[in-house]
Chains A and B, each alone.
Chain A
Amino acid sequence: MPETILVVDDDPDILELLKMNLEPEGYTVRTASDGDGAVKSACTEPPDLILLDVMMPHKNGLQVIEELKNIDETKSIPVILVTARGQADDKVLGLETGADDYITKPFDLREVTARVEAVLGRTRPIKYINPLKRAMGIGFSEEGLQQLAGHLEAAAAIQKKLLPDQAPSFDEFDIANLLQSSTSVSGDFYDYIPLNETQVGIVLGDVKGNGIPAALLMVMIRTALRLLCHDEDTPAAILKRINDLVARDTEADLFATMIYGILDTHDYTFTYANGGHCYPFHYNSRNGIDVLKTGGMLIGAFEEATFTYGTCHFAPGDIIVFYTDGITETEAAQDTTSEVSTHWEQDTSTLFYGGDRLAGCLAENTELSASALCEAILNDLAEFSGSTQTHDDRALIVIKREI
């Protein structure tokens, strides 16, 4: 979109001259011929920059700046003052009042465009914040919220398309997943990537933080994984490459935990690497429940992170459960915690759903199909927390080898 410049001068010839000079540079030019007109125009639709004559009848340029600085919508619009030669006081006063630069009449048209471009170059980054501020309004206006909600809805729709609807199906394996988002966009994600006829890449991850930044990082990781998974031999090498990519390209605040593994339906193995994610559970009919403890650093925080991989074998009836911490950090129903929650030495196992209860739920439901097991865990969470709502995203993948 072209940037808009509001040119204010009581001399119609100057207005015309500046308009003719700035429009070929790609700017949209609006004009006002006095101070009141300038304030009105700026408030109705804030321009990206104002070129403002100081000497005008009724309301002069300095008064215009003062007015604009007192209005939320206009206070951050950059202003270049146009002063007559020799009025040094005006320049000082103008800059003190909040002008960003000044031009002296009679001006060289090349100087005008150069100064306009310089000021816009400085203020452009700020400009992107203003629409958001306007959208939010003072105390979150209803219109602003609707607008934001619209953006979130669009982001959620894009993200939803990236998550596969259905788990892949193999003759001897039963795979199911579950995702519950606390907000319209999710930080938790999963994906299945067919590698060849017998192998499928499976990922479950959790981008820390919420909302749009988390969702953007999730999309970045998911895309990188899809592109890289055919390049590298081991899940550990893939996590290393994703880690380095994220660590290089994002801020420290953004990082993810994830497990990526390759299910081989021919060899009945699952080879995985873990980037700082909750340890998965492996149920075996003879040995009971085991924790898959091959670990690694969380993804994207440190470039020096290294990863290793582990392999586990699927016997008939074996189940592997991956989950995100939104499940184990689900808080207990209020009444069971209120008595003890003021003391720091409380037993945390009663406060949160936790890995032990999740393992217990798995142990009791090993006969169920993968999707029924997901449901059983969800029901147990609802019973524990007294609610079907969630404060954090929750994701779950269950892989079961048929008996």
Chain B
Amino acid sequence: MNFEITIAQENISILHIVGKILGNASDAFRKAMESQLQTGHDKLVVDLTQVPLIDSSALGAIVTTLKGYQRSGGKLVLLKPQKAVQEVLEVTQLATVIEIYDTEEAARDAFR
């Protein structure tokens, strides 16, 4: 797994992940998401376009971080999960508590 963080306009952070998020990679994944909140960027788009698969640790990282954003009045949304990832989000019903968007533009609009 590799990742890159870009800051779009209106102070929205976009975390682009490339590759599977499995096992120990979920630590780096979580830290990447939390780093934005810690530096005062409380609007985060997690771009899952290039993530073919996540496991339960990655799911845990999403749950924990999502709650952190909610507690501090911020917001975390997901961008375009692939089929296998979408399935996991549906089985666990995380899809009902986290906003998921199909395009980066729609994801950014979510913060308006």
Residue numbers of A with Cβ under 8 A of B are 206, 208-209, 252-253, 255, 257, 276-279, 295-298, 301-302, 305, 325, 329, 344-346, 348, 351-352, 391
- A278 to B55 Cα, complex, angstroms: 12
Asked whether A297 lies within 8 Å of B93 as measured between CB atoms, the reply is: yes
- Determine the distance from Cα of A301 to Cα of B56 in the docked complex, in whole angstroms: 13
State which residues 59-110 of B face A: CB under 8 Å: 59-60, 63-64, 67-68, 84, 90-94, 96-97
With an 8 A cutoff between CB atoms, is B53 at the interface? yes
Min CB distance, B90 to chain A, in Å? Answer: 8
- Of A209, A253, A276, which contacts B92 at CB under 8 A? A276
Asked whether A253 lies within 8 Å of B60 as measured between CB atoms, the reply is yes
Measured between beta carbons, the chain A residues less than 8 angstroms from B53 are: 348, 351-352
Residue from B52, B56, B97 within 8 A of A344 (CB atoms)? B52
> In the complex, which residues of chain A have a beta carbon less than 8 angstroms from the beta carbon of B14?
none
B56: A residues at CB distance < 8 A: 206, 208, 257, 325, 329
B50: which A residues are within 8 A, CB to CB?
344
- Judge whether A301 and B91 touch: CB under 8 Å: no
Q: Kindly provide the distance from the CB of A240 to the nearest chain B CB, expressed in whole angstroms.
A: 13
Q: A346, B52: Cβ atoms under 8 Å?
A: yes
- Residues of chain B with a CB closer than 8 A to A302's CB: 97
| Residues in chain A near residue B60, CB distance under 8 A | 208-209, 253, 255
Size class of the B contact interface (CB-based, 8 Å): 20 to 34
**Structural contact, B84 and A297, CB atoms closer than 8 A:** no
Min C-beta distance of B109 to chain A, whole Å: 25
> Is A329's CB under 8 angstroms from B55's CB?
yes
Q: List 14 A-B contacts (CB under 8 A).
A: A208-B57, A252-B63, A257-B56, A257-B92, A276-B92, A276-B94, A277-B91, A297-B96, A298-B63, A325-B56, A344-B19, A344-B20, A348-B52, A391-B23
Say how far A272's CB is from chain B's closest CB, in angstroms. 14
Known pairs A208-B57, A252-B63; A298 contacts B92 (CB<8 A): yes
In the complex, are the beta carbons of A344 and B91 less than 8 A apart? Answer: no
Closest 7 CB pairs of A and B: A276-B92, A297-B93, A298-B92, A252-B64, A252-B67, A344-B50, A301-B63
**Residues of the A chain whose Cβ atoms lie less than 8 Å from the Cβ of B63:** 252-253, 255, 298, 301
**Which B residues, 15 to 63, have Cβ-Cβ distances below 8 Å to chain A?**
18-20, 23, 50-53, 55-57, 59-60, 63
A255 to B94, alpha carbons, bound, how many Å? Answer: 13
Instruction: Determine how close the nearest CB of chain B comes to the CB of A299; give it in whole angstroms.
Output: 10
Nearest CB of B to A350, in Å: 11
The smallest beta-carbon distance between A25 and chain B, in angstroms, is: 41
- Alpha-carbon gap, A371 to B94, bound state (A): 34
Asked if A276 and B93 make an inter-chain contact with CB atoms under 8 angstroms apart, the answer reads yes
* A345, B91: Cβ atoms closer than 8 Å: no
Interchain nearest-CB distance for B65 vs A (Å)? 9
Interface centre among B23, B51, B96 (most CB of A within 10 A): B96
| Interface hub of B19, B51, B92 (most chain A Cβ within 10 A) | B92
Let me know if A208 and B59 touch, CB within 8 A. Answer: yes
User: Which chain B residues border A278 with CB–CB below 8 Å?
Assistant: 91
Distance of A276 Cα from B50 Cα, bound (Å): 24
CB of A120, distance to nearest CB on chain B (Å): 32
Residues on A with C-beta less than 8 A from B92 are 257, 276, 297-298
Name the residue of chain A whose CB is nearest to the CB of B56.
A208
Residue among A301, A305, A329, A346 with the highest chain B CB neighbour number at 10 A = A301
Q: Given A279-B91, A344-B18, A344-B52: A301 and B67 within 8 A (CB)?
A: yes
- Chain B residues whose C-beta falls within 8 Å of the C-beta of A277 in the assembled complex: 91
Q: Are A295 and B19 in contact (CB under 8 A)?
A: no
Residue in A closest to B53 when the chains form the complex, CB atoms: A348
